[in-house]
């Protein structure tokens, strides 16, 4: 489990960013696994369904945070590839994203991200690869 003070650092680092505007809240964060939740309300398309792009924003945020932790404080992680499969819609409540590291090397880090609804049903599966480089 991640220290609550560390989670506050992640939330503060995302002030004024897209992640903050989307309402993403970090729950757990390490190089191996990052968990966050996001409200469906405010992140929908015109039919009232969670926008697929919102799921991708959540996935990219989680994978990038995991890769940045893996890279360490002297380096940065920059997303170079992401894909997503949308399995079902969500219309209310929150969705939760869980990013699990697939590969953590010296120059690349890849994560699988599963986004689920409040009933634990799979909404989206995504994979993100980040390049790790000096600042």
Beta bridge partners of 104: 109
User: What value does the mean pLDDT take over residues 115-133?
Assistant: 98
Asked whether the predicted pLDDT for residue 6 surpasses 70, the reply is: no
Contact between 56 and 93 under an 8 Å Cβ cutoff? The reply is: no
* Tokens read off for 41: 């309300």
Asked whether the predicted pLDDT for residue 8 surpasses 60, the reply is: yes
Return the SS3 of 6.
Answer: helix
Question: Which pLDDT value is given to residue 22?
Answer: 97
Q: Which domains does the chain have, with CATH numbers?
A: 4-134 (3.10.129.10)
Contact between 22 and 38 under an 8 Å Cβ cutoff? The reply is: yes
Asked whether the predicted pLDDT for residue 3 surpasses 80, the reply is: no
Class of residue 111 by CB neighbours under 10 A (exposed 0-12, middle 13-18, buried 19+): buried
Q: What is this structure's pTM?
A: 0.94
Write down the residue that tokens 């986004």 correspond to: 115
95-115 pLDDT tens trace: 999 999 999 999 999 999 999
* Tokens read off for 67: 């890769």
12-25 pLDDT tens trace: 788 899 999 999 99
Count the helices and strands in the chain (H runs, E runs).
3, 6
22-79 pLDDT tens trace: 999 999 999 999 999 999 999 999 999 999 999 999 999 999 999 999 999 999 999 9
Question: Which pLDDT value is given to residue 15?
Answer: 87
Q: Which residues are catalytic?
A: 60
Question: Which pLDDT value is given to residue 106?
Answer: 96
Question: Which pLDDT value is given to residue 14?
Answer: 80
């Amino acid at each position: 489990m991640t220290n609550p003070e560390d989670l506050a650092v992640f939330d503060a680092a995302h002030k004024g960013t897209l992640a903050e505007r989307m309402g993403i809240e970090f729950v757990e964060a390490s190089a191996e696994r990052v968990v966050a939740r996001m409200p469906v309300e405010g992140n929908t398309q015109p039919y009232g369904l969670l926008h697929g792009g919102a799921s991708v924003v959540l996935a990219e945020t989680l994978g990038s945070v995991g890769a940045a932790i893996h890279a360490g404080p002297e380096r940065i992680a920059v997303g170079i590839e992401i894909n997503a499969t949308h399995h079902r819609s969500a219309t209310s409540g929150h969705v939760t994203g869980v990013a699990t590291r697939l590969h953590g090397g010296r120059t690349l880090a890849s994560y699988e991200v599963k986004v689920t609804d409040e009933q634990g049903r799979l909404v989206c599966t995504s994979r993100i690869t980040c390049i790790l480089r000096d600042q």
